[in-house]
Chain A
Amino acid sequence: MPPAVAVSGLAKRYGQVTALDGASWKADVGRITAVLGPNGAGKTTMVECCEGLRRADSGEVRTLGVDPWRAGPDHRARVGVMLQDGGLPNAARPLRLLHHLATLYARPAPVADLVERLGIDEFAGTSIRRLSGGQRQRVALAAALVGRPEVAFLDEPSAGLDPHARLEVWDLVRSTATAGSAVVLTTHSFEEAERLADHIVVVARGHVVAEGTLAEVTHGGRLEDRYFALTGRSVA
């Protein structure tokens, strides 16, 4: 089966700043791919190119076999997106927002299930503006999954969550992959990558410096040690 996401030689510059300089990696259907890398390494730019939010300067990006830049609505319906800053309208309440987003899809997931699973019903009547960071994150995750995507891009889905909420999120991410989606998540958590990822991509200085299963990337060592060796530990 062709990979759900295939990136080769991806380059992107912002003026004088080179964000990505020939990055190549892939993500498979039914598996969780974790993208690790220091802030500013180019993770977000890379994922945004795969989501069709940014256009690559050069190289090739294929999401579900299609160039995501300017891809049509039916393609976008197959791709779920959770942005780091949430992307949620401040004034709306979670339930109204999720029910609205569901109307954009022909065959959405049942909103009630997502809401119950992520514990959103506890704060369903509070506007997004008044939610805690972790609560907002759960709504953003539900927003990414409400269209039953074939590929879900999740930007730090469990950052800032308490341990219970984090387990719920991990369960949901795992069952999304088990149901046949490709999940691509960016993370700074070694624990998250070790426990959850089937496939690991390490990004540094605009390049992919390692890619493979946990064992392939770490050679049997600790992910944390390997990560610092790959990304150049710079301790102030």
Chain B
Amino acid sequence: MRSAPDPARSAPSPASAAASRGAAAPGLHRVLSQARFETGTLMRNGEQLLVALVLPAAVLVGLVHSEAVSLGDGRRVDLAVPGVLALCVISSAFTGQAISTGFDRRYGVLRLLGASPLGRTGLLLAKAAAVLSVVALQLLAIVVLGAVLGWEPHLGGIPAALAAILLGTWAFVALALLLAGTVRAEGVLALANLVWLGLLALGGVVVPGTELPGRLAPVVELMPSGALGDSLRAALVAGQVRLGDWAVLAAWGLAATLLARRFFRWGD
């Protein structure tokens, strides 16, 4: 039996025109595409590269070759590399992410992408993936430079170091989004750079809290920077796991995530 010709077959109806377009690419594809785009933008940006790679490398070379700053007991290079790895995390996860998100918010990029198939959740996932890939590139660069400078890490501590880096990345990205989502873009630019400098000098990142002026040590232990620096040094110098430091990082990550969820504004 033959049915009557379907009019939708002979002439393009609005329904079939609609079916031929208007679908989103698959979710994972969208997130990875955005992550690649953000990573590419970051790697093309001179200032970001300076903060992400050149400055940490310079800090490492400076710490290894000068005796001006005490790093504690042990070989200088072994103490310096874990601290510079912590600095890399803070550069990308906090300073870089806060500045780029702050300006994306100012220029309406967050709103536009929120209305695109990517959406707000997709954008956050993509940012997390982009930060992790930049951190991975930084780690690779610093590990190679460290090896050239004679670094001998405690190999058994590598899993603990990776765990600390993941926790630290979470805590600092959450802090970055809290800052970028609540403060004007110019304020974010100033604060994110200032905080980076402050943490480098006094935050227990490359110089352990124990080597800083006495009153600072107990404060630094409770800061995410100190906890990240100390846990990386403990892991890579002695192969130790410092659960207290991990708890400090997780607490900062949780608190900043909850506050960012509550106060983040997508538009200016």
- A residues with a Cβ closer than 8 A to B are 1, 29, 51-53, 73-74, 76-79, 81, 83-92, 96, 100-101, 103-107, 143, 147-150, 180
Contact = CB atoms under 8 A, between A and B. Distances in A.
Contacts of A101: 116
Given A91-B44, A180-B14, A104 B118 contact: yes
Nearest to A146: B116
Interface residues of B, number: 36
B31 to A, nearest CB: 10
Contacts of A150: 18, 21-22
A125 to B, nearest CB: 13
B221 interface: no
A227 B261 CA distance: 43
A165 B2 CA distance: 54
Given A76-B117, A91-B45, A180-B14, A53 B111 contact: yes
B70 interface: no
B109 A88 contact: yes
Contact of A88 (B14, B20, B112): B112
A57 B112 CA distance: 22
Interface string B22-55: 1111010110011001001100110000000000
Given A74-B117, A83-B111, A147-B116, 7 more contacts: A1-B14, A53-B115, A85-B107, A86-B107, A88-B108, A104-B30, A149-B22
Contacts of A86: 107-108
Contact of B24 (A53, A76, A83, A87): A76
B103 interface: yes
Given A86-B108, A89-B104, A73 B119 contact: yes
A52 B27 CA distance: 19
